[in-house]
Chain A
Amino acid sequence: MSLIEKAKSHIMSRRSFLGATATLAAGAAAAVTLPGCGLQKVDSSVAELADKEGEWITAACWHNCGGRCLNKAYVADGVVVRQKTDDTHEDSPDYPQQRGCARGRSHRKMVLGADRLKYPMKRKNWEPGGGKKELRGKDEWVRISWDEALDIVASEIKRIKEKYGNASFFLPPGGSGGDMEPIRLMSAYGGCTTRWGDVSWGAWPVVWQKVTGITTDNGSMAGNDRFRLRDSKLIFLWGANPAQSSQGTPTFNYLQAKKAGAKFILIDPVHSETARVMADEWIPIHPATDTTLVLGMAHHILTNNLLDIDFLDTYCVGFDADHMPDGADPKDNFKDYVLGTFDGTPKTPEWAAKICGVSADKIRQLAQEYATTKPAAIITGGAPARINNGEHFPHAIMTLAFMTGNVGKPGAGVSPNMHNRATNAGPVLVQPGASGLPAIPNPLAKSKINSGEMWNAVFTGKYTASKGVQKNINIQMVWNWFGNTLNQRAGTTRGIEAHRKVEFVLAQNLFLSTDARYSDVVLPVTSQWERLGGLLTGNREILIYFRQIMKPLFEAKSDMWIATELAKRLGINPTKAINPLSEAQMLYNQIAGAKVMKADGTGYEKLVTLTAEDIKELGAKGTPQTGRISYKEFKEKGIYQIPRSRGDKLEFTSFEDFIGDPVGKKLATPSGKFEIYCDSLAKAIEKVGFTTKSPLPKYEPSREGYEDGAKNGYPFQVITLHYYRRSHSTLDNVLWLREAFPQELRINASDAQKLGIKNNDIVKVTSRHGSVIRQAMVTERIMPGVVALGEGAWVEMDEQAGVDKAGCTGILDGHIPTGQGHTGFNSCNVKLEKYNQPLDPDVKWPQRIIF
């Protein structure tokens, strides 16, 4: 019998069972209503949209996050439906995928956020010259047309120039990336005052360059490449937390070294995410005291005959009285400083333990292990040197490596190998060409104020130009874009006051970030997803080609368009001075000029083959060329990753050539050697004009370091973390990320108990410079006496209570210029108290939507 017949007989018998009228189907459907989780009928327009074939396009993930990954957007009819990351090849330890993090994968939520700035706006009470300037940050906003906005900006610029001169324009953004369009414009208009001072690298750059003679690097590109790391038997990660600060491949690369047998010791006030993955041992330490631990270890090495004397004699100057550079006092040598021969203070492990909080026995054990395990590498992040007058730490830790000869051999090394170079030291293997955009020299190039003085200078009218040279300045306009200067430099409290003092404040941004919030006029700019495209570099093995994902949202315009339009109003020929090349031509130039290292390591060859059709498609002028890969492949994959394997000719260890030939390949220092006694360093720091440093590495407590707080009523030290939620301050507004990462204050359980603080209690943190409130995360994973807060939260002042509710670390950190002019975010003393007002979780805060 067929199924049709079977069914018929079933229904017949069923009807006789249930009654003639009941059909099975109708009975079933009526039995239970189906809740709204199945399919629904949609109208044809919805159906059409959902049916559109989309395309995966490589999307910019352009932030200064310390990593660089492939980010792709699935775009259907201009709608970004979803994202993915690197699946262009199989993942393996030797040829890893460049996979994105929580932030990269939330990108859609940022670019398409409801809180994007959509139109130009002015502050309601704004008038030429200010207009209730004290309301900046609190005033209401009024939507205006682009014409009105540009007219206001141009007329204020003209007025301020006439009244106060070009030096009164202060354009503080800086750093890598971006074409610095407003500075181009102002340079063409007679010049402007800018900002200087390292933010990320701490005190490393000048020390690295003076001690090694290498001026093309700040140390972050130095060390071993990822294959040579696997030769290490022991790796100290000293204040380095790549799992958080360098997402992407670094932690994976370290894991390969661990699998190959390396032991990992992590020195950090916080038991970091990296410690969780990697640490065989975690050594908690008081912030800003690492130099004492180094000196205590040096003392043990010195007094227990663990020195590599040959190395010191051959490759270094300044270790002992017999190897001093010309003209130096022989008594001023490192060995006698450590032994306390002349100052009466031997830098014993016991001496160090009292300051750094690591026990003397542990210091001896670390020293013994380091000096007797070879090759061993010391890899630091910027954090331990990101302290006020912090130059001694880099100098001391390099010296420690010199004492044991752990330099210049595969698997050995000492360097701040960090940021997107972490775990992959060495020359760049693939890089973009130049865009060809000609530089415009700033006629006021010397009018540059240090990060640690800039906001004070608004009030004092003075800044330090160099040692003993104070110059007058009258800042009347602050212009912010690209960065989030007010939020991200130390001294935010002072910065807000400064923003309320000057006559005009202008911001270009995607959001009402802190910079924008305290402005008079805000101009909405496009994100990289709305621009033509570009190339991004990260670790040395990759080059990413991202393309336009969508049209500009609402009335957002590019920074270059804004500069161009303002130029017209200021009487400057924009195509001649500001914007001589089309966006397409600049993109083409970068692609055509891209180059890749040859497999034998002898030099570069062109990366991309470009046919006449390719050039036409790009909308540029150029000559066809032959390179390693086709333009089509580059465009479709969106990435080129150079093939690597163990033993290839691209492996790298810093100083291998110098160690192999100390005479022929001598260093570019005055002595030709590593300078433990480094007069050029001392002179360079002195010349800056803030503080001095001895030519030797010594321990000098940092301003607002460990000792300072204990005796002055600020018994805790706060350190600032690169936080999972953001790339510095970027992406802080994304709700997904706010929910996942709540911006907690980490506090040790014993401290919390003493203060009566429980998990999730709101705590007020007060430094000499400002107060923030945050919910506590009570944990054993932080050193007692230390609290930690992620940097980059967008200031949200409770003006009445005088506290920042967001927990912006810039509010806590002082506006303090020291050393080479870097910022000392990790030397800051605070006191803590339980706060009796509630604080909603950040994810529940209203978004900053003004139109």
Chain B
Amino acid sequence: MTKVNHASSRVTPLLELRLFYYDFLRRTFLMEPTKDFLVFVKNSMIAPDFPLASESGMILEGVQQIKDYLSKNDIQSETVCNDLHWEYTRLFIGPYQLPSPPWESTYLNEERLLFQKETLAVRKAYLKYSFLPVEFGHEADDHLGLELDFMFRLSELCLEDNDQNGVDLRQLLIDQKSFLEEHLLQWVPKFSQDMIQHAETDFYQGMGKILQGFLTLDLEALLELLTINS
């Protein structure tokens, strides 16, 4: 899938790992877990070392918890699927008070409202690359899953033929760094704390840790990539 120009070929492995992470995370947070998704997670955990896990204590802990969970629970069983499905629902959908609402605006404004100025700022960032939520206007743009999907899309662009599509790799990296700093890292630390505290399964506790660990790590990665591409 990737034709990388000469200048960036050295960084391709890191760009690929970033793509993997954002894919992994967006799938985790966009919607309730499906069986396919759980198989995907299990497969990702088979390899002896989870990418870059040694670089972050948080990721390491998270991976270990998920591995523990998967060793004790059979993801083919209905009960396990239902448990995880309910856990996602309880944490991120409702109907009761959400212990960790997955929207940026609920963390950044005092009254924890949806569709606020934060939402519009996020939308603006998406629109620079002509992205909008499929459920635009109905779903708030600053849902964690959507923000991660956005990072995934830009990571994908980073690996595409930059000469042909006219997007400058450096600009893509700058925009990702800004989005990470101005949005995700503004609220995810608090969100993941809430999530880790309130999740009842090792599975979602672990996911909270991987999320937090990776976003912190990705800022480092972007800084490094920008130094190379300056």
**CB within 8 A of B34: which of A11, A13, A32, A41?**
A32
B134 touches A39 (CB 8 A): yes
Residue of B nearest to A44 (CB): B130
B13 touches A38 (CB 8 A): no
Q: Considering the complex, which residues of chain A in the window 4-19 have a beta carbon less than 8 Å from any beta carbon of chain B?
A: 4, 6-8, 10-11, 13-14, 17-18
B1 touches A3 (CB 8 A): no
Residue of A nearest to B149 (CB): A38
B130 touches A43 (CB 8 A): yes
The 5 closest A-B CB pairs, nearest first, are: A7-B14, A7-B13, A38-B149, A25-B19, A11-B13
A603 adjacent to chain B (CB < 8 Å): no
Chain B nearest CB, measured from A235 CB (Å): 32
CA distance A40 to B153 in the complex (A): 10
A34 adjacent to chain B (CB < 8 Å): yes
A439 adjacent to chain B (CB < 8 Å): no
B135 touches A28 (CB 8 A): no
**CB within 8 A of B221: which of A3, A17, A39, A44?**
A3
A51 touches B127 (CB 8 A): yes
A643 adjacent to chain B (CB < 8 Å): no
A50 adjacent to chain B (CB < 8 Å): yes
CA distance A46 to B220 in the complex (A): 35
Give chain B residues whose Cβ lies under 8 Å from the Cβ of A37. Answer: 30-31, 134-135, 139, 145
**CB within 8 A of A50: which of B16, B136, B153?**
B136
Chain B nearest CB, measured from A161 CB (Å): 52
B27 touches A24 (CB 8 A): no
B55 touches A3 (CB 8 A): yes
B224 adjacent to chain A (CB < 8 Å): yes
Which one of B41-49, B69-77, B96-104 contacts A?
B41-49
Chain B contact residue count (CB 8 A cutoff): 56
A3-B127 contact, Cβ under 8 Å, with A17-B48, A36-B134, A50-B136: no
A11 touches B48 (CB 8 A): no
Give chain A residues whose Cβ lies under 8 Å from the Cβ of B51. Answer: 7, 10, 14, 24
**What are 10 pairs between A and B in contact, CB < 8 Å?**
A11-B16, A14-B51, A23-B16, A25-B23, A26-B1, A28-B20, A39-B133, A40-B131, A50-B127, A50-B136
A32 touches B40 (CB 8 A): yes
A801 adjacent to chain B (CB < 8 Å): no
B11 touches A4 (CB 8 A): yes
CA distance A46 to B27 in the complex (A): 26
CA distance A18 to B44 in the complex (A): 12
B24 touches A28 (CB 8 A): yes
Residue of B nearest to A35 (CB): B31
A 30-66 binary contact with B (CB < 8 Å = 1; else 0): 0110111111111110110011000000000000000
Q: Considering the complex, which residues of chain B in the window 98-146 have a beta carbon less than 8 Å from any beta carbon of chain A?
A: 115, 123-124, 126-127, 130-137, 139, 145-146
A467 adjacent to chain B (CB < 8 Å): no
Chain B nearest CB, measured from A48 CB (Å): 8
Give chain B residues whose Cβ lies under 8 Å from the Cβ of A17. Answer: 47-48
Residue of B nearest to A87 (CB): B111
Q: Considering the complex, which residues of chain B in the window 135-174 have a beta carbon less than 8 Å from any beta carbon of chain A?
A: 135-137, 139, 145-146, 149-150, 153, 159
Given contacts A4-B225, A34-B27, A35-B31, 18 further A-B contacts (CB under 8 A): A3-B217, A4-B13, A4-B14, A6-B52, A8-B14, A14-B51, A25-B2, A25-B16, A26-B1, A28-B44, A31-B36, A32-B36, A37-B31, A38-B133, A40-B134, A42-B131, A43-B130, A50-B127
B80 adjacent to chain A (CB < 8 Å): no
Give chain B residues whose Cβ lies under 8 Å from the Cβ of A11. Answer: 13, 16-17
Give chain B residues whose Cβ lies under 8 Å from the Cβ of A34. Answer: 26-27, 30
B20 touches A39 (CB 8 A): no
CA distance A625 to B184 in the complex (A): 51
B55 touches A38 (CB 8 A): no
Give chain A residues whose Cβ lies under 8 Å from the Cβ of B26. Answer: 34, 38
Chain A nearest CB, measured from B147 CB (Å): 9
**CB within 8 A of B132: which of A18, A29, A40?**
A40
A47-B132 contact, Cβ under 8 Å, with A6-B52, A25-B159, A38-B149: yes
B190 adjacent to chain A (CB < 8 Å): no
Count contacts between A and B, CB distance < 8 Å: 126
Interface of B is mostly: helix
A24 touches B30 (CB 8 A): no
Interface residues of B (CB under 8 A from A): 1-2, 10-11, 13-14, 16-17, 19-20, 23-24, 26-27, 30-31, 34, 36-37, 39-40, 43-44, 47-49, 51-52, 54-55, 115, 123-124, 126-127, 130-137, 139, 145-146, 149-150, 153, 159, 217, 220-221, 224-225, 228
* Candidate in B20, B34, B133, B217 with the most chain A CB atoms within 10 angstroms: B20
Give chain B residues whose Cβ lies under 8 Å from the Cβ of A50. Answer: 123, 127, 132, 136
A632 adjacent to chain B (CB < 8 Å): no
A800 adjacent to chain B (CB < 8 Å): no
Residue of A nearest to B48 (CB): A17
Give chain B residues whose Cβ lies under 8 Å from the Cβ of A41. Answer: 130-131
CA distance A731 to B82 in the complex (A): 41
A24 touches B16 (CB 8 A): yes
B20 touches A24 (CB 8 A): yes
Give chain A residues whose Cβ lies under 8 Å from the Cβ of B48. Answer: 17
A602 adjacent to chain B (CB < 8 Å): no
Give chain B residues whose Cβ lies under 8 Å from the Cβ of A24. Answer: 16-17, 19-20, 51
Interface of A is mostly: helix
Chain A nearest CB, measured from B7 CB (Å): 13
CA distance A26 to B48 in the complex (A): 19
CA distance A13 to B124 in the complex (A): 40
A82 touches B131 (CB 8 A): no
A3 touches B146 (CB 8 A): no
Give chain A residues whose Cβ lies under 8 Å from the Cβ of B225. Answer: 4
Q: Considering the complex, which residues of chain A in the window 534-550 have a beta carbon less than 8 Å from any beta carbon of chain B?
A: none
CA distance A31 to B45 in the complex (A): 14
CA distance A110 to B37 in the complex (A): 42
CA distance A392 to B23 in the complex (A): 75
Residue of B nearest to A10 (CB): B51
CA distance A50 to B34 in the complex (A): 32
Chain A nearest CB, measured from B47 CB (Å): 6
CA distance A527 to B104 in the complex (A): 36
CA distance A36 to B217 in the complex (A): 29
A39 touches B126 (CB 8 A): yes
Chain A nearest CB, measured from B50 CB (Å): 9
**CB within 8 A of B153: which of A4, A7, A31, A39?**
A39
Q: Considering the complex, which residues of chain A in the window 648-699 have a beta carbon less than 8 Å from any beta carbon of chain B?
A: none
**CB within 8 A of B43: which of A13, A23, A31, A51?**
A31
B40 touches A31 (CB 8 A): yes
Give chain B residues whose Cβ lies under 8 Å from the Cβ of A3. Answer: 14, 52, 55, 217, 220-221, 224
Give chain B residues whose Cβ lies under 8 Å from the Cβ of A32. Answer: 27, 34, 36-37, 39-40
A4-B228 contact, Cβ under 8 Å, with A37-B30, A37-B134: yes
A304 adjacent to chain B (CB < 8 Å): no
CA distance A46 to B131 in the complex (A): 10
Chain B nearest CB, measured from A305 CB (Å): 55
Chain B nearest CB, measured from A42 CB (Å): 5
Residue of A nearest to B17 (CB): A7
Give chain B residues whose Cβ lies under 8 Å from the Cβ of A28. Answer: 19-20, 23-24, 40, 44
Residue of B nearest to A51 (CB): B127
**CB within 8 A of A38: which of B17, B40, B146?**
B146
Residue of A nearest to B52 (CB): A6
Give chain B residues whose Cβ lies under 8 Å from the Cβ of A46. Answer: 132
A216 adjacent to chain B (CB < 8 Å): no
A42 touches B130 (CB 8 A): yes
Chain B nearest CB, measured from A4 CB (Å): 5
A39-B1 contact, Cβ under 8 Å, with A10-B17, A32-B36: no
Give chain B residues whose Cβ lies under 8 Å from the Cβ of A29. Answer: 19, 23
A2 adjacent to chain B (CB < 8 Å): yes
A4 touches B131 (CB 8 A): no
B130 touches A47 (CB 8 A): yes
Chain B nearest CB, measured from A218 CB (Å): 40
Chain A nearest CB, measured from B63 CB (Å): 14
Give chain A residues whose Cβ lies under 8 Å from the Cβ of B145. Answer: 37-38
Residue of A nearest to B221 (CB): A3
